[in-house]
């Protein structure tokens, strides 16, 4: 949802990076600081520059002043001497050395007191007439002493005399500035001295400013080391050119450098300050960065947790809306304070109406009220229970409730509708315990039931009775009428069985047509027998389907706990043995388990072993029973019937050992031996006499019958046309299409096929039509009652007619009387077999019979009548 997302985005944008923000402002602050320091430095530099400049101006001013003072002093000194009548007389009119020098009017004192190194008088003809050099009277031309002409100065001095003034100038003398003051000699204010005609003499005082003097002058004005700038000296401060255009040299001095001093003091201070500020900034930056980082972190985690919160809220909402769950909250009194929207959708009840009502009013558990359950301390952390409620349609729904304690303020939790799940589980449970077809309990349920009952330890007075019930003649129903019909019969039978039982008893279906019944509360064996009678009678009632009546029956084996066994498996086994006995006793009956039955089972197993041995060592014998053409008594062939003379038990009938051979997997070797013996025996018989061999449906199913028959024919070299195979209809019942293929293959070998025991099963006439039979044998049960039973007679008549219609040879079995033979002859039955004609005979007996009945050498026909 957008309004959920926006605060998150907002925070994200705002606190994108406090560190960055911090850094940016600090950078600005640092720049500002740097600017301030730069400005201060500039200002300082400027001030120092100005200071230097002012210092220079001031120094210059003072030096100029000093120079002027020196010049002025020299000028006024020379004026005093020049405008003096005596001097005019003694130095102009004539040079009176005595006056001037000796009497010291213009002599050595000028050097000693005033420092003039040179005192000269130049006459009107510009000749040096008087010269005192450093207080010593010497005769030297001024120009020579100065090293340069001085005419200009002299002339200026004469001109200046008019104004009663002197002239001064500065010249370079021997590299040193020399202050030259000159004035024309005049009588001055002396009224006694007359001014002469002609040019005046000029008196010249020369003060050569040597190094010491210059320094002294400078010192008077606070100028350090005032001196003449040496030609190679690097100027370190201002300079002052002196004389005409600096001709007298350049003055130079050491500056006080106030600016530099200021700089030297202030710059380090500013540097220090900058350093301190820098340091402080760095510390501040570090601290703030850390703080900002922490802030960022907390922002990030805040953002993350906000995002997580939003996601979790969304998830919660999605889940709450998508699931079948609804969410509830109750206060400490167990009254609803909150119900989610789904509540209404799921239960159909109004949320608003439910708020404030007790949870127990809506939901029920199987064990007390929900509020009790909630208050159970051991149940505190999120636990769940199953409860039910009535929805708005009045239907019971089941819900799984989870609950969580809200710190004593009540409870909250979810409620998931599990009605379908519970129903499905119940259904699965039911299915896993019941047979899908009949709805009866299955083996699993039986086991559980039995275990429960046996745990209760049944006594002899109140035993537990187990009946193993197996349907007789059910298989053909299934095979012939189809599985749907079979299912219908099973359903019907199941219903009938259940009807015969009392409450508390159990009937389970444990196999195709096998049932187990558990009875308790039975007082006597008679009671059990009565029940078995009722059960069989009930099952024997015809099952009607599609205008057809199906008849089945049942055999029952009975075992009892604790008499026979105390354990379920044993009990089952014993009941099964009893069932076997019941079936062996001719079906549609019941047998109680007896100890010797077990012995019989063991015997049977022994017999199995003996039979295996018998086949191997050749204990079996083959008997032959002639088959006679009823019309003229000619022997057409003989049926091979196997015999087993057990070394201890004597002759065992094939009806007993053939099923054993079938079950023990011995039927193929047995049958091979029969086929082989039959063919090799019959090979010696007269041409045209066939041998008929019985095939078991079990071996027929194995699929290698064709190969085996083929092998025997090849090995014995017997004419296939003389071999007849007798099949019962069960061959076709087991696997109709597969049987058809095998039969066709057998026919291709050239052998004949006959349907044995016709009429006993459900022999559909359709089989006769669609399977390649050459003949059929009417079961001896029909022949038996032929004389007395009109029905049987008409049945045989019908079968003969049918056989004729289908071009099948019809044989009647079990002819025991002449009457039966007559009757069969009357209905034109093709062939006959039976004790009346001949019992099955061993090989010698059969050979003897043939010899006795043989008609003649040329005509090898064996005739019985
Ligand atoms: P089946 O194929 O119906 O054989 C005929 C049975 O009827 C034979 O019993 C025979 O002795 C008996 N019988 C013949 N005439 C009469 C009579 O007039 N009255 C009476 N009551 N019985 C008569 P047997 O030899 O005991 O054979 C029983 C069954 O054993 C046979 O019934 C056949 O199904 C099976 N059997 C016998 N020999 C073989 C064999 O080699 N292989 C196979 N697979 N089954 C065999
Ligand atoms: Ca037979
Ligand atoms: Ca038969």
Arithmetic mean of pLDDT, 716-743: 87
The whole-number pLDDT of residue 460 equals: 85
Query: Which residues lie below 8 Å from residue 120, measured CB to CB, with a gap of 6+?
Result: 128, 130, 131, 132, 142, 145, 203, 204, 206
The Cα–Cα gap between 625 and 815 comes to 12
Bridge-based pairing state of the strands 464-472 and 514-519: antiparallel
pLDDT at residue 421, as a whole number: 86
CATH 3.30.70 assigned to domain 87-209? The reply is no
**Which pLDDT score, from 0 to 100, does residue 24 have?**
82
Please give the Cα distance from 494 to 488 (Å, whole number): 10
Provide the mean pLDDT of the chain: 87
CA distance 89 to 105: 12
3-class SS at 355?
coil
Which ligand 1 atom is the nearest neighbour of the CA of 671?
42
811-833 mean pLDDT: 95
Ligand nearest the Cα atom of residue 637? 2
Pocket perturbation via mutation, ligand 1, pick of 621, 659, 672, 694 by most ligand atoms within 8 A of CB: 694
> Buried b / exposed e across 490-524, counting CB within 10 Å, b at 16+?
bebbbebbeebbeeebbbbbbeebbbbbbbbebee
Name 93's Cβ contacts closer than 8 Å, sequence gap at least 6. 196
pLDDT of residue 237: 64
Six token digits for residue 526? 């008679």
Q: What local confidence, expressed as pLDDT, does residue 717 receive?
A: 96
The tokens describing 269, both together, are 């201070």
pLDDT tens by residue, 18-51: 777 777 887 888 888 888 888 988 888 898 888 8
Range picked from 9-23, 77-91, 161-175, 705-719 for highest mean pLDDT: 705-719
- CATH 3.20.20.450 placement within the chain: 613-853
- Cis? peptide before 562, omega within 30° of 0: yes
Domain(s) labelled CATH 3.30.70.270 in the chain stretch across 435-593
d(CA 624, CA 639) in angstroms, rounded, equals 5
206 Cβ contact partners less than 8 Å away, ≥ 6 residues apart: 116, 117, 118, 119, 120, 145, 146, 173, 178, 179, 180, 181
642 lines ligand 1 (CB under 6 A): yes
Q: How far is the CA of 728 from the centre of ligand 2 (A)?
A: 8
- Quick: pLDDT tens for 233-280: 777 667 888 877 777 788 888 877 888 888 888 888 888 988 888 898
Burial class (CB in 10 A: 0-12, 13-18, 19+), 235: exposed
Non-local (6+) Cβ contacts of 146 within 8 A are 118, 171, 173, 178, 180, 206
CATH number of 435-593: 3.30.70.270
Q: What pLDDT was estimated at residue 187?
A: 86
CB-side neighbour CA atoms (13 Å) of 129? 21
Task: Place domain 324-433 in its CATH homologous superfamily.
Answer: PAS domain (3.30.450.20)
Residue 418 pLDDT: 87
CATH 3.30.450.20 domain extents, the chain = 324-433
Instruction: Kindly state the average pLDDT of the residues 194-213.
Output: 86
Instruction: Report whether pLDDT(723) > 90.
Output: yes
The percent of the chain in helix, strand and coil, each rounded to the nearest 5, is: 50, 20, 25
Q: Is 834 in the pocket of ligand 1 (CB under 6 A)?
A: yes
Q: Would you state the pLDDT for residue 320? A: 66
pLDDT digits (tens, 9 = 90+) for 422-451: 888 888 888 888 988 999 999 999 999 999
Rounded to whole angstroms, the maximal C-alpha distance in the chain is 235
Q: What pLDDT was estimated at residue 734?
A: 66
pLDDT, tens only, 93-103: 888 888 888 88
Q: Which residue in 854, 806, 808, 860 sits closest to 831, CA to CA?
A: 808
The predicted structure's pLDDT at residue 16: 55
User: How far is the CA of 189 from the CAs of 122, 205, 336, 418, 595, in angstroms?
Assistant: 22, 21, 141, 151, 194
- Considering only CA atoms, which of 491, 460, 466 is closest in space to residue 477? 491
Q: How confident is the model at residue 309 (pLDDT cuts 50, 70, 90)?
A: confident
Q: Which residues contact 447 (CB under 8 A, 6 or more apart)?
A: 568
The mean per-residue pLDDT over the stretch 671-682 comes to 96
Whether ligand 1 lies within 6 angstroms of the CB of 840 is answered as: yes
Q: Which CATH architecture has domain 613-853?
A: Alpha-Beta Barrel (3.20)
8 A C-beta contact, residue 98 and residue 276: no
Q: Output the CA 619–ligand 3 centroid distance in Å.
A: 24
Backbone angles phi, psi at 650, to 5 degrees: 80, -155
Q: pLDDT tens digits, residue range 569-580?
A: 999 999 999 998
Say whether pTM exceeds 0.95.
no
| Spatial contact of 595 and 504, defined as CB atoms under 8 Å apart | no
> Comparing 549 with 15, which gets the higher pLDDT?
549
Task: Point out the ligand 1 atom lying closest to the alpha carbon of residue 674.
Answer: 41
Q: Percentage of the chain surpassing pLDDT 90? A: 36
Give, as one character, the DSSP assignment of residue 166: -
Higher pLDDT, 261 or 841: 841
Q: How far apart are CA 773 and CA 395, in angstroms?
A: 66
Using the predicted structure, report yes or no on whether residue 730 has a pLDDT greater than 90: no
Q: Which of 282-286, 379-383, 690-694 has the lowest mean pLDDT?
A: 379-383
CA 415 to chain centre: 28
């Amino acid at each position: 949802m957008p309004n959920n997302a926006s605060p998150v985005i907002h925070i994200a944008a705002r606190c994108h990076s406090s560190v960055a923000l911090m850094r940016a402002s600090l950078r600005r602050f640092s720049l500002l600081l740097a600017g301030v320091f730069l400005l201060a430095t500039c200002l300082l530099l400027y001030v120092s520059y100005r200071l230097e400049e002012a210092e220079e101006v001031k120094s210059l001013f003072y030096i100029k002043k000093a120079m002027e003072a020196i010049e002025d002093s020299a000028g006024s000194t020379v004026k005093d001497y020049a405008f003096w009548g005596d001097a005019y007389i003694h130095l102009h009119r004539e040079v009176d050395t005595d006056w001037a020098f000796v009497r010291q009017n213009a002599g050595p004192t000028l050097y000693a007191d005033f420092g003039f190194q040179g005192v000269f008088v130049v006459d009107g003809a510009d000749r040096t007439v008087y010269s005192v050099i450093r207080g010593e009277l010497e005769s030297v031309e001024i120009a020579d002493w100065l090293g340069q002409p001085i005419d200009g100065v002299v002339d200026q001095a004469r001109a200046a005399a008019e104004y009663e003034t002197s002239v001064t100038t500065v010249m370079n003398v021997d590299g040193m500035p020399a202050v030259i003051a000159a004035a024309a000699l005049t009588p001055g204010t002396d009224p006694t001295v007359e001014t002469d005609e002609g040019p005046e003499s000029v008196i010249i005082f020369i003060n050569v400013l040597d190094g010491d003097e210059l320094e002294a002058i400078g010192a008077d004005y606070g100028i350090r080391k005032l001196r003449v700038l040496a030609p190679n000296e690097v100027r370190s401060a201002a300079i002052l050119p002196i004389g005409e255009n600096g001709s007298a040299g350049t003055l130079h001095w050491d500056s006080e450098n106030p600016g530099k001093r200021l700089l030297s003091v202030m710059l380090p201070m500013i540097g220090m300050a900058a350093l301190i500020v820098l340091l402080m900034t760095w510390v501040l930056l570090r601290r703030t960065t850390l703080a900002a980082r922490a802030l960022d972190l907390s922002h990030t985690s805040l953002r993350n947790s906000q995002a997580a919160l939003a996601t979790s809220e969304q998830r919660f909402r999605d889940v709450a809306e998508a699931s079948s769950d609804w969410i509830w909250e109750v206060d400490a009194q167990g009254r609803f304070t909150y119900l989610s929207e789904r509540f209404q959708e799921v239960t159909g009840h109004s949320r608003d109406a439910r708020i404030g009502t007790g949870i127990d009013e809506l939901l029920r558990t199987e064990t007390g009220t929900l509020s009790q359950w909630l208050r159970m301390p051991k149940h505190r952390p999120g636990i769940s229970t199953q409860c039910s409620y009535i929805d708005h349609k009045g239907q019971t729904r089941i819900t799984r409730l989870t609950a969580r304690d809200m710190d004593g303020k009540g409870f909250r939790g979810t409620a998931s509708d599990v009605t379908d799940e519970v129903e499905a589980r119940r259904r699965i449970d039911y299915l896993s315990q019941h047979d899908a077809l009949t709805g009866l309990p299955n083996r699993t349920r039986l086991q559980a039931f039995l275990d429960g009952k046996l745990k209760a330890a049944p006594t002899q007075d109140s035993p537990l009775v187990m009946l193993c019930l197996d349907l007789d003649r059910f298989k053909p129903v299934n095979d012939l009428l189809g599985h749907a019909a079979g299912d219908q019969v099973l359903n019907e039978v199941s219903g009938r069985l259940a009807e015969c039982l009392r409450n508390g008893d159990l009937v389970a279906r444990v196999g195709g047509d096998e049932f187990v019944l558990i009875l308790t509360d039975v007082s006597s064996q008679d009671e059990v027998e009565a029940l078995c009678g009722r059960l069989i009678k009930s099952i024997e009632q015809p099952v009607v389907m599609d205008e057809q009546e199906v008849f089945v029956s049942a055999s029952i084996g009975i075992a009892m706990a604790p008499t026979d066994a105390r354990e379920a498996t044993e009990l089952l086994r014993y009941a099964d043995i009893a069932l076997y006995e019941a079936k062996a006793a001719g079906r549609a009956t019941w047998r109680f388990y007896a100890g010797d039955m077990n012995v019989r089972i063991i015997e049977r197993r022994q017999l199995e072993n003996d039979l295996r041995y018998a086949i191997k060592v050749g204990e079996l014998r083959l008997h032959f029973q002639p088959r006679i053409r009823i019309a003229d008594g000619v022997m057409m062939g003989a049926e091979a019937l196997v015999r087993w003379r057990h070394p201890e038990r004597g002759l065992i009938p094939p009806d007993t050992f053939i099923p054993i051979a079938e079950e023990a997997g011995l039927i193929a070797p047995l049958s091979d031996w029969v086929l082989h013996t039959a063919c090799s025996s019959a090979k010696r018989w007269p041409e045209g006499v066939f041998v008929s061999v019985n095939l078991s449906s079990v071996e027929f199913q194995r699929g290698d019958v064709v190969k085996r028959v083929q092998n025997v024919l090849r090995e014995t070299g017997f004419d296939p046309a003389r071999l007849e195979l007798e099949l019962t209809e069960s061959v076709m019942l087991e696997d109709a299409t597969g049987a058809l293929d095998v039969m066709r293959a057998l026919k291709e070998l050239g052998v004949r096929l006959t349907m044995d025991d016709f009429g006993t099963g459900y022999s559909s006439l359709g089989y006769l039509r669609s399977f390649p039979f050459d003949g059929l044998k009417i079961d001896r049960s029909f022949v038996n009652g032929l004389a007395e039973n009109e029905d049987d007679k008409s049945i045989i008549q019908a079968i003969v007619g049918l056989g004729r219609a289908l071009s099948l040879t019809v044989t009647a079995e079990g002819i025991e009387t002449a009457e039966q033979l007559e009757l069969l002859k009357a209905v034109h039955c093709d062939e006959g077999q039976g004790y009346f004609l001949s019992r099955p005979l061993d090989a010698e007996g059969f050979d003897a019979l043939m010899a006795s009945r043989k008609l003649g050498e040329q005509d090898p026909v064996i005739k019985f009548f």
